């Protein structure tokens, strides 16, 4: 109400000021115009009369003057003639009674021999006067023309009245328009927003009402949605905690991780290092777009950082990354509710080429994955790798310079040298490195020309994590054979000099909510969006990588349709494939190879209304992937070798209704935990074809019980547990180790 009154007040004030200014200007103009009219008329008449009166005033007789005056005087125009002493000689009868004995402007006209004009009140009436001296050099008197000026005042009054009416009409119209606009654009939408905000308390994912101007209410709606989601999450977490306590269970939740981390880390920030950043910014035309990379590591670590806070140091790889960070390369994430800092490290093209594409992905990646791809070891790549590790070490040391006994969590094979580099500078740091890919047997690893440097670098850590015990054993055996160190097989640790490194499995996982507020929609809407019709739907979600077994999968699908032709036109397999590391020739060739293989099977088997494989080659966000997981009858994860594979766990985590079948490669870390998947050897095409049949012919009851058990595993072994156990172990390192190190 106050706002409306203020708005109306302002409207009226504006209308009054505008109309007043306008009327002032136009009244002035009207006055000037009418005065000019008097003057023009007076001048014309005065010139004529002057000629007639001058001889008469000089020589007389006075009766002649009187005659002239009477002849030209009218009711609205008086004429008076004065002698040279400004004494009245003759005046028309209408004005004579109103004239005072002397008039100053008459004397002035005579003494200055110039025309005097203006307004004067004569006998209580406004009068325009025009006084002309009579006689050229020595004036003999003066002629005064007097006009009734009341029409000017009448005109001014009429104008003022008209403007007042205008003001009323304009003010009222503006007020009405304003009231309608306020009601439609503000009061009404605000009311709906308030109603929505009220409902958000119970249903946090309710979409905002479609209220008018998005530029006005959009930011408010976004803020409110975020707030509601946070509240709902907090409430959910509290309820979950209470429920777990009630049942005496101890599932790891975001809240529990927060508590554990703050207890173990004594509220010190956590420092995480990875090559891949949680979000990169890229130019799309003239717009900057945030992009979550297709990376298992990011999927796993992002929720941990949200829970723990701290600093995440990573390579700034997006072409708009500099524009979206501050001068130090940092930004707070997530943007709508910042919980941690991302510190971007800038690498030159050459550094990226040698360290990332070269040594990490053409050397270590095929070295650790047993898929019979030959590693390439170039000395210049190794030099870049070492240099970039040093660069990251500097940045991490700078970030943690003010923190006592900082806790550092290093990720993956990109940073094998980093633990040692940090340890050398900060003996008080607690350092863990988690190796997200497999560790092969000592013979396989032994071909790496820089094996000792890599092992010594890693052993700078206090804790080395792998996904499985098998990889831990491979690592310890590699150390045993390659360098001087004492392996303690009882505690799974390595002693070198004063320093002990523990080696333990921590199977990584996903957060329970793969996508917060998942998209609405149905299987039908997904199929119609894709323009396909299918009774059975299979899905695969991968980066295009030779370890993922994609060509083998395409062959298995072909074999399935050859063996079971009755499923043609009934089953469609959708492959979401994110191009990855395409600058490496092997990856580039693979992209082409898979494209050709899909094209071939589609060409051979397709009918008028059906194609066996839908190949969607693009980067897909989690939100975009969600409906595929949710509505597929089965998901194929048939990697030839994989440290863990989070796609398998993502698929299971989405299937809330406990349906769907997972076909999973025996050679993934995930297969150790998800024993209820249909396990396959991805090199065995017949076995995989058979697995597809088993998946779609499995009874609903069996599907349900298998999925329920797998969901229980993923629920319990979630990402919060992974981070919680890892950080707890790191924090619990025997104190004497730290003491010895400092001596």
Contact between 436 and ligand G6P per CB under 6 A:
yes
**How crowded is the C-beta side of 588, counted as CA atoms within 13 Å?**
6
Query: With binding defined as CB under 6 A, does residue 549 bind ligand G6P?
Result: no
CB of 644 to ligand G6P, least distance (A): 8
Q: Does 276 bind ligand G6P (CB under 6 A)?
A: yes
Q: Which is nearer to ligand G6P, 140 or 547 (CB)?
A: 547
- Least CB distance to ligand G6P at residue 321 (A): 15
Pairing relation of β-strands 493-496 and 499-505? Answer: antiparallel
Q: Does residue 530 contact residue 576 with C-beta atoms inside 8 Å?
A: no
Residue count, binding to ligand G6P (CB under 6 A) = 10
- Of residues 426 and 581, the one with the C-beta less far from ligand G6P: 581
Q: Among 292-300, 613-621, 696-704, 721-729, which window interacts with ligand G6P (CB under 6 A)?
A: 292-300
* Interface pattern 572-611 for ligand G6P (x via CB under 6 A): --------xx------------------------------
> Is residue 315 at the binding interface for ligand G6P, with CB under 6 A as the rule?
no
> Residue 144 or 294: which CB sits closer to ligand G6P?
294
| Maximum C-alpha span of the chain | 150
Binning the chain into helix, strand and coil, the percentages to the nearest 5 are 50, 20, 30
Q: Using the rule CB under 6 A, is 296 a contact of ligand G6P?
A: yes
| Beta-strand relationship, 88-91 and 77-83 | antiparallel
Q: Considering the complex, what minimum distance in angstroms separates the CB of residue 355 from ligand G6P?
A: 12
User: Given the rule CB under 6 A, which of 121-129, 289-297, 596-604, 733-741 is the region that contacts ligand G6P?
Assistant: 289-297
**DSSP 3-state of 69:** helix
Nearer to ligand G6P, 129 or 312 (CB): 312
Region 224-253 residues binding ligand G6P, contact defined as CB under 6 A: none
Residue number, 225 or 580, with CB nearest to ligand G6P: 580
Using alpha carbons only, give the angle 682, 686, 688 rounded to the nearest 5 degrees.
45
* Residue 649 near residue 541, CB atoms below 8 Å: no
Least separation, in Å, of the C-beta of 302 and ligand G6P?
A: 12
Q: How far apart are CA 113 and CA 664, in angstroms?
A: 120
CA distance 511 to 717: 10
Please, which residue, 612 or 643, has the CB nearer to ligand G6P?
A: 643
- What CA–CA distance (Å, rounded) separates 409 from 423? 13
Measured from the CB atom, is 196 or 546 closer to ligand G6P?
546
451's tokens:
């094996």
DSSP state of 492: T
Q: Which of 297, 308, 550, 670 is close enough to bind ligand G6P by CB under 6 A?
A: 297
Which residues face 88 on adjacent strands? 82
Least CB distance to ligand G6P at residue 274 (A): 7
Closest by CA position to 278, among listed 316, 309, 252 = 316
* Distance in angstroms (rounded) separating the CA atoms of residues 308 and 723: 10
Q: Which residues contact 311 (CB under 8 A, 6 or more apart)?
A: 269, 270, 271, 272, 340, 341, 342, 343, 399, 400
Spell out the long-range contacts of 587-595 with Cβ–Cβ below 8 A and sequence spacing 24 or more: 587/544, 587/545, 587/546, 590/544, 590/545, 590/546, 590/550, 590/551, 591/544, 591/617, 593/551, 594/544, 594/550, 594/551, 594/554
Supply the minimum distance, in Å, between the C-beta of residue 503 and ligand G6P.
18
* DSSP SS3 for 588: helix
Query: Closest CB to ligand G6P among 297 and 307?
Result: 297
Told to check if 437 binds ligand G6P by CB under 6 A, we report yes
CA-CA distance, 463 to 452, in Å (whole number)? 18
**Interface region with ligand G6P, contact rule CB under 6 A, candidates 24-32, 67-75, 235-243, 291-299:** 291-299
Minimum CB separation of residue 543 from ligand G6P in Å reads 6
Minimum distance of ligand G6P from residue 493's CB (angstroms): 24
- DSSP structural state of residue 518: P
List the one residue from 92, 225, 253, 295 that touches ligand G6P (CB under 6 A).
295
331 three-state secondary structure: strand
**Which range, of 145-153, 290-298, 380-388, 516-524, touches ligand G6P by CB under 6 A?**
290-298
Q: What is the DSSP string of 33-66?
A: HHHHHHHHHHHHHHHHHHHHHHHHHHH--HHHHH
Show Cβ contacts of residue 618 under 8 Å, excluding neighbours closer than 6 positions: 576, 577, 578, 579
CB 338 to ligand G6P: min, Å: 23
Residue 139 lies near ligand G6P (rule: CB under 6 A): no
**Which of 538/669 has CB closer to ligand G6P?**
669
Six-digit token string for 487? 């392996």
Q: Interface with ligand G6P by CB under 6 A: which range of 179-187, 211-219, 294-302, 716-724?
A: 294-302
Q: Cβ closer to ligand G6P: 15 or 300?
A: 300
Judged by the rule CB under 6 A, the positions of this chain that interact with ligand G6P are 275-276, 295-297, 412, 436-437, 580-581
């Amino acid at each position: 109400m106050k706002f409306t009154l203020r708005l109306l007040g302002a409207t009226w004030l504006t209308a009054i000021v505008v109309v007043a200014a306008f009327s002032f200007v136009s009244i002035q103009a009207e006055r000037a115009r009418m005065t000019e009219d008097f003057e023009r008329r007076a001048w014309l008449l005065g010139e004529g009369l002057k000629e007639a009166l001058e001889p008469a005033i000089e020589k007389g007789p006075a009766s002649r003057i009187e005659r002239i005056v009477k002849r030209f005087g009218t009711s609205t125009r008086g004429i008076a003639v004065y002698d040279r002493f400004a004494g009245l000689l003759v005046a028309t009868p209408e004005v004579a009674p109103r004239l005072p004995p002397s008039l100053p402007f008459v004397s002035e006209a005579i003494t200055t021999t110039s025309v005097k004009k203006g307004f004067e009140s004569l006998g209580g009436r406004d009068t325009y006067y025009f006084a002309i001296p009579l006689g050229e050099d020595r004036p003999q008197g003066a002629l005064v023309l007097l006009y009734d000026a009341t029409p000017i005042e009448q005109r001014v009054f009429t104008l003022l009245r008209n403007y007042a009416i205008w003001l009323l009409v304009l003010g009222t119209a503006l007020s009405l328009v304003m009231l309608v606009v306020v009601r439609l654009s503000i009061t009404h939408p605000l009311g709906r927003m308030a109603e929505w905000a009220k409902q958000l308390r119970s249903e946090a994912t309710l979409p905002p009402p479609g209220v008018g101007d998005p530029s006005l209410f959009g930011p408010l709606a976004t803020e409110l949605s975020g707030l509601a989601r946070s509240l709902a999450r907090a409430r959910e977490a509290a309820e979950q905690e209470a429920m777990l306590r009630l049942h005496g269970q101890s599932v790891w939740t975001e809240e529990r991780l927060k508590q554990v981390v703050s207890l173990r880390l004594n509220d010190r920030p956590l420092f995480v290092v990875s090559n891949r950043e949680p979000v990169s910014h890229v130019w799309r035309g003239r717009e900057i777009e945030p992009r979550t990379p297709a990376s298992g590591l990011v999927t796993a670590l992002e929720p941990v950082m949200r829970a723990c806070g701290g600093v995440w140091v990573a390579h700034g790889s997006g072409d708009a990354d500099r524009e979206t960070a501050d001068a130090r390369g940092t930004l707070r994430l997530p943007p709508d509710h910042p919980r941690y800092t991302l510190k971007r490290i800038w690498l030159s093209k050459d550094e990226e080429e040698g360290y990332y594409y070269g040594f990490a992905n053409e050397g270590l990646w095929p070295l650790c994955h047993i898929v019979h791809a030959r590693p390439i070891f170039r000395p210049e790549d190794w030099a870049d790798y070492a240099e970039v590790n040093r660069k990251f070490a500097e940045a991490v040391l700078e970030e943690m310079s003010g923190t006592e006994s900082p806790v550092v969590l290093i990720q993956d094979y990109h940073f094998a040298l980093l633990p040692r580099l940090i340890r050398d500078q900060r003996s008080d740091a607690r350092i863990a490195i988690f190796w997200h890919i497999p560790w092969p047997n000592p013979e396989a690893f032994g071909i790496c020309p820089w094996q000792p440097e890599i092992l010594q670098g890693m052993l700078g850590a206090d804790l080395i994590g792998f996904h499985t015990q098998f990889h831990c054993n491979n690592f310890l055996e590699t150390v045993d054979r390659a360098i001087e160190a004492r392996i303690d097989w009882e505690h799974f640790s390595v002693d070198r000099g004063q320093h002990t490194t523990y080696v333990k499995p921590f199977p990584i996982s996903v957060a329970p909510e793969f996508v917060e507020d998942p998209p609405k929609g149905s299987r039908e809407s997904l199929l119609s969006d894709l323009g396909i019709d299918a009774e059975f739907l299979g899905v695969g979600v991968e980066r295009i990588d030779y370890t993922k077994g994609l060509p083998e999968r395409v062959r298995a699908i072909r074999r399935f349709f050859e063996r079971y032709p009755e499923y043609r036109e009934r089953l469609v397999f959708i492959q979401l494939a994110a191009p990855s590391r395409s600058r490496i020739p092997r990856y580039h060739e693979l992209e082409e190879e898979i494209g050709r293989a899909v094209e071939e099977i589609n060409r051979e088997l397709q009918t008028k209304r059906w194609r066996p494989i839908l190949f969607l080659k693009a980067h897909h966000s989690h939100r975009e992937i969600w409906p595929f997981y949710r509505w597929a009858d089965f998901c194929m994860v048939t990697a030839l070798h994989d440290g863990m594979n989070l796609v398998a766990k993502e698929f299971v985590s989405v299937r809330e209704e406990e349906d769907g079948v997972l076909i999973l490669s025996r050679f993934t870390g995930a297969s150790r935990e998800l024993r209820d998947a249909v396990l396959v050897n991805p090199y065995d095409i017949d076995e995989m074809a058979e697995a597809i049949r088993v998946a779609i012919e499995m009874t609903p009851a069996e599907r349900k019980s298998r999925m329920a058990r797998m969901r229980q595993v993923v629920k319990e072994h979630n990402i919060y547990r992974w981070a919680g156990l890892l950080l707890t172990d790191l924090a619990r390192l025997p104190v004497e180790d730290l003491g010895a190190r400092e001596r």
